[in-house]
Amino acid sequence: MTALSDVSLTVREGETVAIVGENGAGKTTLVRHANGLLKPTKGSVLVDGVDTRETTTATLSRKVGIAFQNPDHQLFSDSVENEVSFALRNFRFPEELVAKRLDWALNFFGLEQYRKSSPLILSGGEKKRLTLACILAWDPEVVVLDEPTVGQDSLQKEKLAQVFRMLQSTGKTIVIVSHDVEFLWPIQPRLLVMSGGRVVADGEISKIMADRELLEGARVTQPQLLRLYSGLRSRPATPFLDVPDARAWVAGGRAGRGVG
């Protein structure tokens, strides 16, 4: 079975790229090529100019951090703090820096109270946050997140959106695999749509998300604010990106018509 076929794409430094598509489309397989966990059987993958077949995953990981979809495939330490510091020590960070990064990561992801606990006792959502904490603690240049919003409540999702803005503002390259179109929409990433092991669309999220036929084929649904925008008789030139945007438009329209 071929999980990916004839995929070609370039991700530039500092770009935010989201990948959507049906279950089994090849999204996870594709991103696992980014740190050499998987190597292509045909074609090649270059990371910062280096062919992934000519180096090790350990070396590539310093540059590319991947947070897995299923935390149970990633977590293995006896305590949350050892889980986070494992990679930092592997990368030979000095001990003071290990301590500093550990504190930051646990604090930021609301895991401080579990510092000494086994990762196994965490809830699904907490495990997920721990995988993100582990990756972001070593500050890779490329951050790959496979379904980061699964099991997260709105407060955690807002925090995750903050992490995105922070990573974007520091020039990091972000690749996110997600089914959560409501989470992706306000971020307005470059969007890749995958289906049956191929990339079937690549471009601006607002253009691609307007193409219902394409979405249907990849089993993706439109975000609510775009559906709302499409149903309006009179509407602004571009779709609403978030709720405040839509609210401002309604307020403006009322002012324009002299209502309210």
Contact positions toward another protein, by CB under 8 A?
20-25, 70, 123-126, 147, 150-157, 179-182, 216, 219-221, 223-225, 227-228, 230-233, 242-244, 246-247, 250-251, 253-254, 259-260
Least distance (Å) between residue 195 CB and another protein? 10
Nearer of residues 115 and 219 to another protein, judged by Cβ: 219
Decide: 181 and 220 in contact? Cβ < 8 Å.
Answer: yes
Amino acid identity at 177: V
* Nearest-angstrom CA–CA distance, 212 and 215: 5
- Pick the closest to residue 21 from 219, 182, 202 (CA basis): 219
Q: Minimum Å distance from CB 129 to another protein?
A: 9
In angstroms, give the least distance from the CB of 15 to another protein: 24
**Nearest approach, Cβ of 238 to another protein (angstroms)?**
16
Distance in angstroms (rounded) separating the CA atoms of residues 194 and 24:
9
46 DSSP β-pair partners: 51
DSSP state of 55: S
Residues 6+ apart with CB under 8 A from 48: 63, 141
Q: Of 91 and 151, which has the nearer Cβ to another protein?
A: 151
Kindly state the smallest distance separating residue 220's Cβ from another protein, in Å.
6
Comparison of 49 and 260: residue with beta carbon closer to another protein: 260
Q: Output the smallest distance, CB 184 to another protein, in A.
A: 11
Which ranges of the chain would DSSP assign to H, the alpha helix? 27-31, 57-63, 80-90, 95-108, 124-137, 154-169, 181-187, 205-208, 212-217, 224-231, 243-257
Q: How far is the CB of 122 from another protein (least distance, A)?
A: 10
Closer CB to another protein, 49 or 258, in the complex: 258
Q: Which is nearer to another protein, 127 or 172 (CB)?
A: 127
Q: What angle do CA 26, 30, 36 make, to 5 degrees?
A: 145
The residue (of 83 and 126) whose beta carbon lies closer to another protein is 126
Residue 20 · residue 218 · CB < 8 Å: yes
| DSSP-derived pairing of the beta strands 142-146 and 173-177 | parallel
In the complex with another protein, the residue whose CB is nearer, 82 or 117, is 117
